[in-house]
A and B are shown apart, each in its own frame.
Chain A
Amino acid sequence: MRVLKQIISNRYFILGLRLLLGVVFIYASIDKIDKPGGFAQAIYNYRMMPHATINLMAMVMPWLELMCGILIIIGLLVRGSALLIGFMLLVFIVAISFALVRGLDISCGCFKVEGGHTLALGLLVRDILMFISAALVVAFGGPSFSLRRHERNP
């Protein structure tokens, strides 16, 4: 147990998780920013969100993904970014679970607005693993390898 805690709190391990989450979220945001209408359609297809909130979500979420992705990589507001990434992943996990239970035959809209991954259990597992990664960064993501640390300790 102690060894496990040493591993998951290791600053290089946390850095690896930060880079992974950052790259995934930056990549995921690009197509959504490029095609807000398509992303709004993808959100609508899940049949979960109130109609009035779909466009606002389609506008804001990709920028949130991009900003969190950049911040978690460069090491500014790391815990805040990881918390938001965790929250977004939780939303994705709930949405995908509901869609799978209801048997919706739709694309996930994760990386590509049109086309992309088919909803499947594998996506759920991927998102759960990333959620755990984000939780670890919130818990152990200190000032290591961050611009902020550099500012403090030039």
Chain B
Amino acid sequence: MKHIIFGAAMEALPIVLVAFAVALVVNFVRKDGLPMVAAEDAFRVKTKAEFITPDDAWKVFQGGSALFVDARDPGLFGLEHIEGALNVAPSQAGVDSLAWMAPADPDVIAYASKATQRQAGVLADKLMEAGFKKVHVLLDGIEAWKAKGLPIEGRAD
């Protein structure tokens, strides 16, 4: 058995080396290549939209003008989401599906989970580009909303 694993490891070595070489060359050539080490804030949320706390979002919700958009994947959305929220992928297709609502000028509140708030930021920026004027990102995502005991719905109910 040791002989087999040693032989496999010897076979694996050139694969790893070639994969490293190809990856580095492709990354160097492509326009959206990554820096070798990510910037300190590379994975933080970057958005032109303003953040909104769950309490303030709840006030907007009660005012009846809130449109919650959930940027998470459909699996998580199906499990649970903010009451009345729409599942919108942070892609051009996702935003296009919502563009017809822009003239009504709703208070759009984009959210994801705390760990994936960046997706909410991306969605918020795309919605602003699509003509929505009042766009916010829910601070700390759906977890913060749930922690306040605010209404959610979905299969987890």
- Which of A's residues lie within 8 Å of B, judged by CB? 33, 36-37, 40-41, 44-45, 47, 51-52, 54-56, 58-60, 62-64, 67-68, 71, 77-84, 104-107, 112, 114-118, 138-139
Chain B residues engaging chain A, CB cutoff 8 angstroms: 1, 4-5, 7-16, 18-20, 22-24, 26-27, 32-38, 40, 42-43, 72-76, 79, 89-91, 113-116, 118-119, 141-143
Chain B residues positioned under 8 Å from A52 (CB to CB): 37-38
Contacts of A83 in B (CB 8 A): 5, 8-9, 11-12
A51 vs B34: C-alpha distance in the bound complex, in angstroms? 13
Which residues of chain A are near B115, meaning CB under 8 Å?
A: 45, 47, 104-106
Residues of A with C-beta under 8 A to B19? 60, 63-64, 67
CA distance A55 to B22 in the complex (A): 15
| B interface, over-half SS | helix
With a cutoff of 8 Å between Cβ atoms, the chain B residues found around residue A63 in the complex are 19, 22-23, 26
Knowing A45-B116, A68-B15 are in contact, say whether A139-B75 is a contact too (CB < 8 A): no
Q: How far is the CA of A56 from the CA of B27 in the complex (A)?
A: 10
Taking the closest CB of chain A, its distance from the CB of B29, in whole angstroms, is 12
Task: Give Cα distance in the complex from A116 to B13, angstroms.
Answer: 31
Residues of B within 8 A of A58 (CB): 34
Q: What residues of chain B lie closer than 8 Å to A77, measured between beta carbons?
A: 11-12, 14-15
Complex: A40 Cα to B42 Cα, angstroms: 10
The answer to whether B142 and A105 touch across the interface, beta carbons within 8 angstroms, is yes
Within 8 Å CB of A79, what residues of B? 4, 7-8, 11
Give bound CA distance, A58 to B91, whole Å: 21
> Contacts of A54 on B, CB cut-off 8 Å?
38, 43
- Expressed in whole angstroms, the Cα–Cα distance for A63 and B12 within the complex equals 14
Q: Which residue on chain A has the smallest CB distance to residue B76?
A: A118
Which residues on B sit within 8 Å (CB–CB) of A33? 26
In the assembled complex, which residues on chain A have CB atoms less than 8 Å from the CB atom of B26? 33, 59, 63
User: Could you write out 10 A-B pairs with CB less than 8 Å apart?
Assistant: A40-B43, A47-B115, A67-B18, A71-B15, A78-B11, A81-B11, A106-B113, A114-B73, A117-B75, A118-B79
Given A63-B26, A79-B4, A79-B11: A84 touches B35 (CB 8 Å cut-off)? no
**Nearest A residue to B143 by beta-carbon distance?**
A105
Known: A84-B16, A107-B72. A59 touches B24 (CB 8 A): yes
A80 x B34 contact (CB < 8 A): no
